[in-house]
């Protein structure tokens, strides 16, 4: 674990995050498993989009300092996202038991987190080089399935504000 964290820190400094899906692209549909409030659930992006826009945010590793801070920030803003009609979904390459715990302790039962399979990681182009983790990229996906905002940056600090602003702009 320590070696993974050191590698992640080195990559965060050395490799800027990047995302291949540009604004206007059709978001790839997928199905996976996840957890909300510690309970497993099935996630199908197309079903979530029927209810409104989706903020799909990828994070590298549950329980690391940046990912914990980001989960707290999304949790703190969850009512603002709900008011704007959007659903927040966190995604990482972590396994389901890890995400079940993370959904309770760090996401504070406010939103689901789900396992990003290698196919989803490839489709959204969020793989960190040389490790089996995603980079930190947030997508706002409109109800029609089109990407309306992409923020790809290893620092977690602007992801919530940029995602919320993009969701709120969809209402206008």
Give the residue ranges of the chain where pLDDT is below 50.
Answer: 2-17
Query: What is the reported pLDDT for 6?
Result: 44
In residues, how long is the chain? 172
CATH number at residue 22: 3.40.30.10
CA 72/CA 148 separation, integer angstroms: 24
Within 8 A by CB and 6+ apart from 172, the residues are none
The domain tally of the chain equals 1
Query: What is the reported pLDDT for 20?
Result: 73
Domain range spanning residue 23? Answer: 2-170
pTM score: 0.89
And the tokens for 132? Answer: 């089996």
Identify whether 107 is a catalytic site residue: no
Strand-pair category, 87-92 with 113-115: parallel
Active-site pick, 45, 49, 67, 84: 67
Query: What is the reported pLDDT for 39?
Result: 97
26 strand-pairing partners: 146
């Amino acid at each position: 674990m320590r070696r993974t964290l050191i590698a992640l820190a080195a990559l965060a400094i050395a490799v800027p995050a990047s995302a291949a899906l540009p604004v206007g692209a059709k978001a790839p549909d997928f199905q996976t498993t996840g957890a909300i409030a510690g309970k497993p659930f099935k996630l199908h992006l197309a079903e979530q989009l029927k209810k409104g826009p989706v903020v799909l945010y990828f994070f590298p590793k549950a329980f690391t300092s940046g990912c914990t801070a980001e989960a707290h920030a999304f949790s703190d803003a969850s009512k603002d996202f709900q008011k704007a009609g959007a659903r927040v979904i966190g995604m990482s390459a972590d396994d389901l038991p890890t995400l079940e715990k993370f959904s309770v302790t760090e996401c504070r039962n406010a939103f689901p987190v789900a396992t990003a399979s290698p196919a989803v990681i490839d489709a959204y182009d969020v793989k960190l080089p040389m490790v089996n983790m995603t980079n930190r990229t947030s997508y706002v996906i409109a109800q029609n399935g089109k990407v309306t905002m992409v923020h790809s940056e290893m620092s977690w600090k602007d992801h919530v504000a940029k995602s919320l602003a993009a969701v709120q702009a969809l209402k206008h």
